[in-house]
Structure 1
């Protein structure tokens, strides 16, 4: 069984993999060589919780001290940065042509209304199509390297419009919806 994805950014990266024209390198050495060619070594070392000298040594083939968590961080970084131009074009086509951005989510939500805040204890299992403005905002935030909290806010707004508010008249759609506990998220486009 695959582990649950609890990061909106990571879920977007995995959905983007369908649009790649080439697959990323598989071996940690090849992945690090690519990352070191395209990124600043000091910034990359900070994201991978390592030292620049260690990254250089791993890229040269000495991976004896490479742990499983560090390998997963390297894999996460290559998935996050692979073929960004292809991703931008795919996102632009989806937004410009009103393409479908479907989201599957398992989460708990909190609602803020004029009468106060209410945390719903139920775990919702939803599959919804995000409204085009929210899908565009989510892609734009991803391109600008927004924080996970910002991505979750945009996603919660889209789910609120697509699911929670669709049966309400406009004058009753005053609640703000936030994701209080994300168990799993997956996108398909």
Structure 2
């Protein structure tokens, strides 16, 4: 059974996979050959926690020493880099035609207001459509390959506006939301 996804970047990549026009390679050696055409062995080696010469050996078909964790990292790299133009077109179509980006998360939250910061100890299951502006910021940040912290901040702002603070009176709209403990994240669009 796969572990629950807690990476916002990977959750976006998994949602993008629904828009691919062709499936990526399945075998680790074929995946590595594709990834090595995209970047240098030394840059890829840092992301896969391996030596560059080991990557070239694996790409040639000699998979001795390939751990399941490294195979998972290779799969994530494929999901991250596969069909970038298809991904951009799909994102643009979603945003241009009023499509919604639904986030489903299981997390704990912290609230910052004028009177201080409050941590909610409850683990909440939230399913909410992100406002279009926040969906655009999330897609733009993903295209820039932004860090998960930045993606988390954008997602928290969108969830806060759409779910937590939508009923607040205008004088309390200065509240901010942070995701303090993320257990699961999925996107649907």
Show the counterpart of 1:122: 122
Q: Secondary structure of 2:50's partner?
A: coil
Cα distance in 1, alignment partners of residues 84 and 182 from structure 2: 26
Q: Counterpart of 1:136?
A: 136
Aligned length: 189
1:150 and 2:150 correspond: yes
1:168 CA drift (Å): 1.5
Residue 74 of structure 2 corresponds to residue 74 of structure 1: yes
Question: 1:84 matched to which residue of 2?
Answer: 84
1:47 aligns with 47
Q: How many angstroms does 1:169 deviate by?
A: 2.1
User: How far did residue 58 of structure 1 move?
Assistant: 0.2
TM-fit CA distance, 1:134: 0.2
Q: In the aligned structure 1, how far is the partner of 2:27 from the partner of 2:170?
A: 53
TM-score when normalising by structure 1: 0.98
Residue in 2 aligned with 1:113?
113
Residue aligning to 1:160: 160
Residue 27 of structure 2 corresponds to 27
Query: Partners in 2 of 1:2 and 1:99 — Cα distance?
Result: 29
1:170 CA drift (Å): 2.2
Superposition deviation, residue 166 in structure 1:
1.4
Residue 14 of structure 1: how far off its partner (Å): 0.2
Gaps of 5+ in 1: none
Give the drift of 1:38.
1.2
Superposition deviation, residue 171 in structure 1: 2.0
CA distance in 2, matches of 1:170, 1:135: 23
Q: How far apart, in 1, do the equivalents of 2:113 and 2:167 lie?
A: 17
State TM-score, norm by structure 2. 0.98
4+ long deviations beyond 4 Å: none
Q: Which moved more, 1:130-139 or 1:38-47?
A: 38-47
1: distance between equivalents of 2:36 and 2:8?
25
TM-superposed deviation, 1:136: 0.2
1:41 deviates by 1.5
Note the aligned Cα RMSD (angstroms). Answer: 0.8
| Residue equivalent to 2:102 | 102
- Counterparts of 2:96 and 2:62, CA distance in 1: 46
Distance in 1 between residues matched to 2:172 and 2:116, nearest whole Å: 15
